[in-house]
Amino acid sequence: MANDASTVFDLVILGGGSGGYAAALRGAQLGLDVALIEKDKVGGTCLHRGCIPTKALLHAGEIADQARESESVGVKATFEGIDIAGVHKYKDGVVSGLYKGLQGLVASRKVTYIEGEGRLSSPTSVDVGGQRIQGRHILLATGSVPKSLPGLNIDGDRIISSDHALVLDRVPKSAVILGGGVIGVEFASAWKSFGVDVTIVEGLKHLVPVEDENSSKLLERAFRKRGIKFNLGTFFQKAEYTQDGVKVTLADGKEFEAEVLLVAIGRGPVSQGLGYEEAGVAMDRGYVLVDEYMRTNVPTVSAVGDLVPTLQLAHVGFAEGILVAERLAGLKTVPIDYDGVPRVTYCHPEVASVGITEAKAKEIYGADKVVALKYNLAGNGRSKILQTSGEIKLVQVKDGAVVGVHMVGDRMGEQVGEAQLIYNWEALPAEVAQLIHAHPTQSEALGEAHLALAGKPRKKYAAAPGQPHPE
């Protein structure tokens, strides 16, 4: 292994996804000499196999639904079907444009970009392409890949992962989706819009089970109306090939057949065989263990993103990467409050939240100290125009701050920015209530909900705490 000892970088980053490139850009901005190592393409899962391409598919599905439903608003249009090659061209064009922009940004910051598969060779070096890259500090940011289950062979044709689903050259007639979390419900939503007969299998008792239970129930109701089928509360047992597709059997003996099975049970860390354990880095089930400042037990090694057991969200990895770069540059840093991170599931309708659930609030503060209010979007003019239904639910510590905002409805992801400020600035309902929201906007619903919680005049669709909806 060639060792170019003449060059020792301040920071060597293994992995060019959201966490890795954020650390590289911020580190270089702060005067650090940075090397960024990536075996595939800078941008990682989010840009190439996750956030961006899936949302492009969902938008194509939204356009298809609008074409089908156009007569409901007096517009005559016809829906002739899905041109999957055209959908992929659109999706790939979005990804390509963002990828070129990111490449230019990395180059402009004078980050040393090294293409190749890297391996941690010591607490201060990474080996890649026959070269040893030395660094005063190493950042591990190797991300994640789709998970599977023992005995479940993902073949890329009939039994597929989200990676395969994003490049599938056909619209399947039917699909079983194993997993009712974010990935599963987003693909279920897009595929239903494309005309696929979809069934979700989720072993837990609700779809999007990490969300507030009210949000899960609202999504389930909406999916039933859309004709998306789901089976909850029973775990997967096995999958078998049939003449035309796949048969899925659950633990209770129930069977489902479809053309394809999408395995969407989550993502696991990419860490095996990369030298982490040999270098003394503490790990658990493949995840690299870190403290609140993203430091591992090895003083010269940090880790961020899907590789560590924090929220698997691109914007979380991005923030963690910036935190590491600023810490290494000597700036004062503040640990991330993961409850304060906005979370959005981009299905139809969208599910958006920030803060803690009502159940978690009751655990922390006591049931008698928690107030919850629901505002039905039927009372919001803009939502009525857009023909979307749903709710905004606020969770408040009695006589105190709002500690949870949970929203279901089309475009609710665009409202989560204000919700993030409300939670992270520990806003009282009365403080939000005195802000004037533009009319007619969907953000007005968030303002109305806080008016109701503050006991001020409200529209009839804001139910008082503990009271049923007027509809």
Going across the sheet that includes 2-9, the strands are: 2-9, 131-135, 125-128, 118-122
Tell me whether strands 255-258 and 260-263 are parallel, antiparallel or unpaired.
unpaired
The one-letter amino acid code at 407 reads M
Q: Encoding tokens for residue 119?
A: 């391996």
Q: From 382, 270, 210, 384, select the one nearest 38 (Cα to Cα).
A: 270
Contact 43, 167 (CB under 8 A): no
Residues with Cβ within 8 Å of 137's Cβ and at least 6 positions away in sequence, in order, are: 10, 11, 12, 124, 300, 301, 302, 328
Tokens 């970088």 found at: 9
Token pair for 392: 């905004």
Contact between 407 and 352 under an 8 Å Cβ cutoff? The reply is yes
CA distances from 165 to 83, 89, 186, 235, 261 (A): 15, 15, 12, 22, 10
Which amino acid does the sequence have at 398? Answer: K
Which one, of 50, 7, 4, lies nearest residue 305 by Cα?
50
CA 437 vs CA 34, 217, 344, 423: distances in Å: 44, 28, 22, 18
Amino acid letter, residue 463: A
Q: Are 142 and 36 contacting, i.e. CB atoms less than 8 angstroms apart?
A: no
Q: Which of 48, 88, 137, 439 is the catalytic position?
A: 439
Our answer to whether residue 450 is catalytic in this structure is no
**Look-up: residue for tokens 């391409």?**
53
State the Cα–Cα distance between residues 247 and 242, nearest whole angstrom. Answer: 6
Neighbours of 57 (CB within 10 A): 23
Q: How far apart, in whole angstroms, are the C-alpha atoms of residue 359 and residue 339?
A: 14
Catalytically active residues are: 439
